[in-house]
Amino acid sequence: MTQKIDPIKLKATAEHLEWVCQQYPNEERVQGLLESMRSLIDAAKTGKVAQPFADEHRFPAQWAVFSEGLYRDYRDPNVEGAYGDFTDELRGGLTEQDLRIHADMEAQRAAILKGTQS
């Protein structure tokens, strides 16, 4: 299945990432992430992204966000989540397989929580 850009979702995730980063105005690390993503955010907000990025495409700060965990302390609102949602949409959104995996993980999480509440 070929992924397609959904301009509405892409714009929404771009605006959300921008908003999340703006909630940490005095955090140099977060503001650096925002600036490194600025051109992609602006392109997404103005509808200039028409084709999904290839899966192997590397986005600014990708290593720092997911491998290094440099943004784990910024959870309310969640910088990592907003970044991940935006880059997912830049790739054309989640695939059917991704959605199944997410649903399975949620079911497992719910089962664990239910087991701990008994």
Angle at the Cα of 65 (from 29 to 91), degrees rounded to 5? 125
Region of 69 on the Ramachandran plot (φ > 0 left; ψ -120 to 50 alpha; else beta): left
Q: What is the pTM of this model?
A: 0.85
Instruction: Say which residue the tokens 């965990």 belong to.
Output: 69
pLDDT of residue 1: 45
Burial class (CB in 10 A: 0-12, 13-18, 19+), 95: middle
Supply the mean pLDDT for the chain. Answer: 92
pLDDT of residue 81: 95
